[in-house]
Amino acid sequence: MKKYVLDFRITENVKLHDNYALLKLTPADGQPLPEMLPGQFVEVRVDRSPSTFLRRPISINFVDYTQNELWLLIRIAGEGTRTLCGMQAGEILNLVLPLGSTFTLPENPTEKLLLVGGGVGIAPMLYWGKYLKEKGYTPHFLLGFRSDKDLLQYDQFCQLGEVSISTEDGSRGEKGFVTQHSILEQHFDRLYVCGPKPMMVAVARYAREHGLFCEVSLENTMACGVGACLCCVEDTVEGHVCVCKEGPIFNIEKLKWQI
């Protein structure tokens, strides 16, 4: 897919939580958004943070072609993301996009699909859920958070399919980790997962034990985002590959994880 370096205007910065912001963006020149696929990401230039030299990779959270709007869900992890979360409507963000691979669309729309997200790892699942629904699939979401106050974008997920919640302290949904949720007693054909690595490994283990198709979205540390610097390599059955170019979406059968 063709890559673009584009300026976007922030139309809204929605403070979802102390540590999270949802940036809604539209192309600054008024041109239509380029095609973007679920699971892909953008590399954001952080202009107002002199110590943030490299662009930061952020997942495509949602794309609304009718509003010509792209959403980025950002968790404050350090200086770069803190600066991004503090930006105001009207300011300009420079993005390289769309980067990386997409999830695999099942051939059969009747397959039962579970989209699992943990923390800010829910970000790519919203656009993937929308995409699936528009193509006639019925996604089910399993979202995991530390506690009720960390819940993100619940209403948007509910518009796309059934939503199951687990929280570590039991303040919302079922208590525990996503892999302990009772929804997993039901049969699913495919699992798609994004979140902290221990969570993805646990879901991958569950998928392998049950012989299920499972794709995970890796968040290895990145710099260039286009396969040039080799700082994001992952060991796979096909050798070392750049997650930014060959991924971030991988079938678990390709990964040399201890699962």
Ligand X SMILES: Cc1cc2nc3c(=O)[nH]c(=O)nc-3n(C[C@H](O)[C@H](O)[C@H](O)COP(=O)(O)OP(=O)(O)OC[C@H]3O[C@@H](n4cnc5c(N)ncnc54)[C@H](O)[C@@H]3O)c2cc1C
Q: Closest separation between CB of residue 40 and ligand X, Å? A: 9
Q: How far is the CB of 33 from ligand X (least distance, A)?
A: 17
44 binds ligand FES (CB under 6 A): no
Residue 56 binds: one of ligand FES, ligand X, none (C-beta under 5 to 8 A by kind): ligand X
**Tokens in use for 227?**
């396969």
**Smallest gap, in angstroms, from Cβ of residue 142 to ligand FES?**
29
DSSP single-letter state for residue 119: G
237 to each of 34, 91, 244, 247, how far by Cα in Å? 33, 44, 17, 14
Q: Taking the complex as a whole, how short is the minimal distance between the CB of residue 127 and ligand FES, in angstroms?
A: 22
Nearer to ligand FES among residue 116 and residue 249 (C-beta): 249
Over the window 212 to 241, marking each residue x when it contacts ligand X by CB under 6 A and - when it does not, the resulting string is -------xxxx-------------------
**Per-residue mark of binding to ligand FES, 216-245 (x: CB under 6 A):** ------xxxx-xxxxxx---------x-x-
Among 14, 77, 228, 230, binds ligand X (CB under 6 A): 77
Which residues, including other chains, have CB under 8 Å from residue 30's CB and lie 6 or more apart? none
Can you tell me the distance from the alpha carbon of 29 to that of 171, in angstroms, rounded to the nearest whole number? 45
CA distance 73 to 12: 12
* Residue from 78, 90, 109, 198 binding ligand X (CB under 6 A): 78
Tell me the three state secondary structure of residue 78: coil
97 binds ligand FES (CB under 6 A): no
Q: Helix, strand, or coil here: 242?
A: strand
DSSP helix/strand/coil, 13: strand
SS3 148: helix
Which residues lie near ligand FES (CB under 6 A)? 222-225, 227-232, 242, 244
